[in-house]
Amino acid sequence: MKISIITVCLNSEKHIRTAIESVLAQTYENIEYIIIDGASTDKTLDIVRSFELSISPKSLKIISEPDNGLYDAMNKGIRMATGDFVGILNSDDFYNYPDSIETVVNYLRETGVDMCFSDVRIIHPDNPGKTVRYYSSAGFHPALFRFGFMPAHPSCFIRRRLFDEIGYYKTDYHISADYELLIRILYKHRISYRYLAFDIIKMRTGGKSTRSLKSNYILNKEIIRACRENGIYTSLFILSFKYFYKVFELIFTKNK
């Protein structure tokens, strides 16, 4: 089973090295690594190119050119992917364990599902050892989309052919195209999926959706749109309940 991992980056010189090294450290060998750079103006591409001799030319693909945003870049990577399953590794995230991909592959083989997802450990941006929040995907059900809940997107591995059959990320979303895609494949098309209980990725805080109150407002408006486009009713009032859950999640994190 071949796994395609896609990293999208733009001026990511601070953390891109850690992301790449976590892929190189994986015990599973049949990995295709695709890096889509949005024409960075810092040292990002130099860092990426420095790994070319460390990765087999057959398993590394690099593109550096202007794009139309994060989701357009992700779509480029997916269209290039030749693996059986696709996973997204953000440029400032990294795999938590050397056998993360091997664990995923064994689970996909065992279950035969079209998608699996797990947990993400959200960490302090400058202190990888400090867990800020533990994002658990346990207990997820498609009915929870209307309340603003989704599986941890960076932990998702999706069968490659489904993108051709169901569609790619919608590039007219600014923040929530991943939410809309997961609604489409899990709720609307009811593909087979399973939850795998482990924290596959460490993810730094400071993501696009949490940078400001304005970003959070845009996030929720796009979630409402994504739900509406796929036949789910929700509202800002209904989505507000997820913040009570996050308080409990933060309390739980202190003991994890």
Instruction: Give the Cα separation of 148 and 25 in Å (integer).
Output: 34
The CA–CA distances, whole Å, from 213 to 142, 150, 152, 210, 218 equal: 27, 20, 21, 8, 9
pTM: 0.92
Dist CA 44 CA 132 (whole Å):
26
Q: Residue 241's pLDDT is what? A: 80
pLDDT at 246: 61
Strands annotated E in 59-172:
60-64, 85-88, 93-95, 115-124, 127-135, 157-159
- Nearest-angstrom CA–CA distance, 236 and 211: 19
Residue 245: the pLDDT is 64
Can you read off the two tokens belonging to residue 126?
């400058």
Shortest CA distance to 153 belongs to which of 98, 126, 188, 116?
116
| pLDDT at res. 55 | 83
b/e code 177-216 from CB counts within 10 Å (16+ = b): bbbbbbbbbbbeeebebebbeebbbbbbeeeebeeeeeee
d(CA 160, CA 145): 23
pLDDT along the chain (256 residues), means of 10: 98 96 96 97 96 83 95 98 98 97 98 98 92 92 95 97 98 96 97 97 77 83 97 93 65 56
Decide: 250 and 207 in contact? Cβ < 8 Å. Answer: no
Phi, psi of 226 (to 5 degrees): -60, -40
pLDDT at 94: 97
Fold of 3-254: Spore Coat Polysaccharide Biosynthesis Protein SpsA; Chain A (3.90.550)
